[in-house]
Amino acid sequence: MQARRRLLKMHFESGVGHIGGNLSSLDAIMVLLHEFVMEKDTFVLSKGHSAGALYTTLWSLGRLSDADLRTFHKDGTVLSGHTPVAALPGVPFATGSLGHGLSLAAGTALGFRFKQSSGTVFCLTSDGEWQEGSTWEAMIFASHHRLSNLKVFIDHNELQGFGKTATVASMSPLWDKIKGFNAHLQIVDGHNLDDIRRATNVETDSVSIIVLKTRKGHGISFMEDRMEWHYLPLSKQQYDEASAQLSIR
């Protein structure tokens, strides 16, 4: 809850949106960076809109300060609305437009193999970006090369910028399409930390795909499963109400 409260404060103070998708992905990012992503590994946030969740997690690890977070989305900041390139330790790629992160992650995983590195690449995607052709091309590549050192997570909150993913460009259920690849597929509760841990711990001989069934705006009653929180910033009244809900929880 502390990280969730800090995320809301950062977004409120900066007056920017994309809060819903940050709340749907925060649990997974926290588990991965706190417990799994080691120095030899790489984490790729393909879902660039969730930069706030990544920055908050880095804050919780002591890698960013409160003063750093107060610069979020400000002029001259390195904490931009989408992750920047070569500005933060442990953030290897800029990911703004969706659909590029899986390609970058798959290429990194193959590079690790060539270098005989024991590192693992963890990549968090949104469900909406699986409507992008580049994501499927990356999946073909990863499957063909049997990249067992690549773990792909899908923040499956079923909402995107213009509505439900099933309405905008239906591929529901997404996991049925992924089953056609040579990949190890798991479907878990993306807000159950133990489920995320168990799925991440599974070792496979091919690329691992973990579908995280999540809720946009998770933890805030007036945000959950509401498409408008893909965009809206918080008013003072909404911020106070959301903070009160998290304090009770």
Query: Over 80: is that where the pLDDT of 184 sits?
Result: yes
Q: Is 35 helix (H, G, I), strand (E, B) or coil?
A: helix
Q: Is 176 helix (H, G, I), strand (E, B) or coil?
A: helix
Lowest mean pLDDT among 14-18, 82-86, 192-196: 82-86
CATH code for the domain of 54: 3.40.50.970
Arithmetic mean of pLDDT, 163-176: 76
203: Cβ contacts below 8 Å, ≥ 6 apart: 148
Q: Which domain covers residue 20, as residue numbers?
A: 2-248
Tokens describing residue 44: 């790729």
Q: Which one is predicted more confidently, 230 or 222? A: 222
Q: Is 9 helix (H, G, I), strand (E, B) or coil?
A: helix
Tokens describing residue 248: 């009770």
163-164 and 183-189 strand pairing: unpaired
Lowest mean pLDDT among 39-48, 167-176, 229-238: 167-176
H or E segment to which residue 109 belongs:
helix 101-114
Given pLDDT bands bounded at 50, 70 and 90, which one contains residue 149? very high
Tell me the per-residue pLDDT of 86-109, one tens digit each, with 9 for 90 and over.
Answer: 789 889 998 876 778 999 999 999
Among residues 55, 60, 47, 46, the alpha carbon closest in space to that of 14 is found at 55
Arithmetic mean of pLDDT, 217-240: 90
Q: Per 3-state DSSP, what percentage of the chain is helix, strand, and coil (rounded to 5)? A: 45, 15, 40
Distance in angstroms (rounded) separating the CA atoms of residues 152 and 196: 12
* Residue 97: predicted pLDDT: 65
Tokens describing residue 68: 């750093």
Distance in angstroms (rounded) separating the CA atoms of residues 129 and 127: 6
Burial class (CB in 10 A: 0-12, 13-18, 19+), 220: buried
* Residue 166: predicted pLDDT: 65
Q: Is-contact 184 204, C-beta < 8 A?
A: yes
Which residues make beta-bridge pairs with 183?
207
For the chain, give the number of residues: 249
Number of domains in the chain: 1
163-164 and 159-160 strand pairing: antiparallel
* Residue 249: predicted pLDDT: 67
* Residue 225: predicted pLDDT: 85
